[in-house]
Chain A
Amino acid sequence: RKEVEQDPGPFNVPEGATVAFNCTYSNSASQSFFWYRQDCRKEPKLLMSVYSSGNEDGRFTAQLNRASQYISLLIRDSKLSDSATYLCVVDGGDSSASKIIFGSGTRLSIRP
């Protein structure tokens, strides 16, 4: 089983739709969680951190479920510019870089 698993997609949804992705992780001791966005042939950029209480940033909502070991990302009122690959990132929580694990990404395509 991979340490961080994501549905690779692609998710193809119309503009204005609501779309949600899940990401599961295997290490129950994981402490920090993030969603990064990566455009085609570009570097990943931090979209948002995922906190235990859940958090929202405009149209984006992130949730953490420790019991089931998954995190989710919800995008409301999707825009064409949301088309990208979304990477789930799980961090062991100390200063060791080797604890940061990236998922393979979920590809999202928004159609007009």
Chain B
Amino acid sequence: DGGITQSPKYLFRKEGQNVTLSCEQNLNHDAMYWYRQDPGQGLRLIYYSQIVNDFQKGDIAEGYSVSREKKESFPLTVTSAQKNPTAFYLCASSIYREGISSGANVLTFGAGSRLTVL
């Protein structure tokens, strides 16, 4: 079955350490995204990529880095520069779907990675 796989599901990190979250999709989607969700809040965009070897900053990119060397993979590194990294991280991918009113990105999400800084 096609889908998005994120790993690890749970991750604990000491302050000052970099960690990398994996995201792999076999949906043949061109676009991939990383979101962060804090308790009681909506999703905030960290980075996104529409094609291989290209990516753009989202609303809260500081302290994070990404790469897009393959269409299927979009890993996220949470660096020590991210001051409050404890959160639920969600990876998503999308196709561009023509709707009744206009085209629209419909997102498919991975199961998420929950990062806790000790």
Interface residues of A (CB under 8 A from B): 4, 8, 31-32, 34, 41-46, 49, 51-53, 87, 89, 91, 93-95, 97-98, 100, 102-105
Contact = CB atoms under 8 A, between A and B. Distances in A.
B106 A49 contact: yes
B114 to A, nearest CB: 8
B105 A97 contact: yes
A105 B37 CA distance: 11
B112 A43 contact: yes
- Categorize the interface residue count of chain B: 20 to 34
Nearest to B114: A41
Interface of B: 31, 33, 35, 40-45, 48, 50, 56, 58-59, 88, 90, 94, 96, 99-112, 114
Given A44-B107, A105-B42, 19 more contacts: A4-B42, A31-B103, A32-B99, A32-B101, A32-B102, A34-B106, A42-B112, A43-B90, A43-B112, A46-B107, A49-B106, A51-B99, A93-B104, A97-B50, A97-B94, A98-B45, A98-B56, A100-B107, A102-B35
